[in-house]
Structure 1
Amino acid sequence: MEIKDIAGSDIKPLLEYIEEQSSKDNADLYCYEFKHIVETAASHPTLSIEEYKKMLITSAKSGWSQTHRRISLVDKICDYISKGSLPMVQHKRKSLPSEYTSLISTLRKRLASTTLSPRTIENYVDAVWSFCAYLSEHNVQSLKNVTEQLVVAYFNGSDGKTRGRTISRRIRNAILKCLDLWEEGIGDRVVAMLPDCPSGTTIYPGLSKDESAVVEKILISDDASVSYRSKAICSLAFYAGLRESDISSLTCNNVNFKKKVIHIKQQKTGMELTIPLDVICSNLIVNYVRLERPPSQSPYIFIRKKTKGRLARQDMYEASLDVLSVAGVHANKGERKGLHLFRHHMATSLIETGANPAIVSAMLGHRDPSSALRYLNSDLELLKRCSLSISEFA
Structure 2
Amino acid sequence: MTKYLHLLEEQRLSPKTIDGYEHVFSYFLRHLSLRNVSRILDIGEDDVLTFISSSQNSKQRVLATMRAFCRYLYEQKLINKNIDYVIGRNRYIVKEKLPSTYTCEEVLQIESSVNQSTPVGKRDYAMLLLATRLGLRSSDIAGLQFSNLDWDRNIIRLIQYKTKREIELPLLKDVGEAIINYVKYGRPSSSSKQIFLSSLAPYNPVNGAVVSLSVRKIICHSRIDTRDRKKGPHAMRHTLASQLLRNGISLPVISETLGHKTTQTTMGYLRIDIDGLMKCVLEVPDVPSDFYTQKGGLFYV
Matches within 5 A, 1:4-23: none
2:214 partner amino acid: E
Report the TM-score, using the length of structure 1 for normalisation: 0.56
* Partner of residue 63 from structure 2, selected from 140, 160, 168: 168
Q: 1:142 to 1:278 in 2, by over 3 A?
A: same
* Partner of residue 206 from structure 1, selected from 92, 101, 115: 101
2:168 partner amino acid: I
Residue in structure 2 matched with residue 189 of structure 1 by the alignment: 85
Residue in structure 2 matched with residue 349 of structure 1 by the alignment: 243
Q: 1:297 to 1:198 in 2, by over 3 A?
A: same
Q: Show CA shifts across 1:63-99 (max 9, x none).
A: xxxxxxxxxxxxxxxxxxxxxxxxxxxxxxxxxxxxx
Residue in structure 1 matched with residue 164 of structure 2 by the alignment: 271
Q: Show CA shifts across 1:143-174 (max 9, x none).
A: 89844x655433332xx857622322333455
Residue in structure 2 matched with residue 281 of structure 1 by the alignment: 175
1:228–1:287 contact (8 Å) kept in structure 2: yes
Q: Show CA shifts across 1:286-344 (max 9, x none).
A: 22222332333232212234423323534652355346645x434x6775322222122
Q: CA deviation at 1:284?
A: 1.8
In the alignment, structure 2 segments of 5+ residues that lack a partner are 288-301
Q: CA deviation at 1:250?
A: 1.6
2:170 partner amino acid: L
Q: CA deviation at 1:233?
A: 0.9
**Percent of aligned positions that are identical:** 19
If asked which structure has higher relative contact order (CA below 8 Å, sep 6+), I would say: 2
1:124–1:174 contact (8 Å) kept in structure 2: no
* Partner of residue 189 from structure 2, selected from 263, 277, 295: 295
1:201–1:374 contact (8 Å) kept in structure 2: no
2:125–2:178 contact (8 Å) kept in structure 1: yes
Report the TM-score, using the length of structure 2 for normalisation: 0.70
Residue in structure 2 matched with residue 246 of structure 1 by the alignment: 140
Residue in structure 2 matched with residue 256 of structure 1 by the alignment: 150
Residue in structure 2 matched with residue 16 of structure 1 by the alignment: none
Matches of 2:127 and 2:85, distance apart in 1: 47
2:149 partner amino acid: V
Q: RMSD value over aligned CA atoms? A: 4.3
Q: 2:23 matched to 1:126? A: yes
Matches of 2:71 and 2:97, distance apart in 1: 28
Using the TM superposition, name which of 287-296 and 228-237 deviates more: 287-296
Residue in structure 2 matched with residue 109 of structure 1 by the alignment: 7
In the alignment, structure 1 segments of 5+ residues that lack a partner are 1-100
1:275 partner amino acid: E
1:154 partner amino acid: F
Q: 1:108 to 1:178 in 2, by over 3 A?
A: farther
Q: CA deviation at 1:357?
A: 4.5
**Matched length:** 281
Matches of 2:7 and 2:211, distance apart in 1: 33
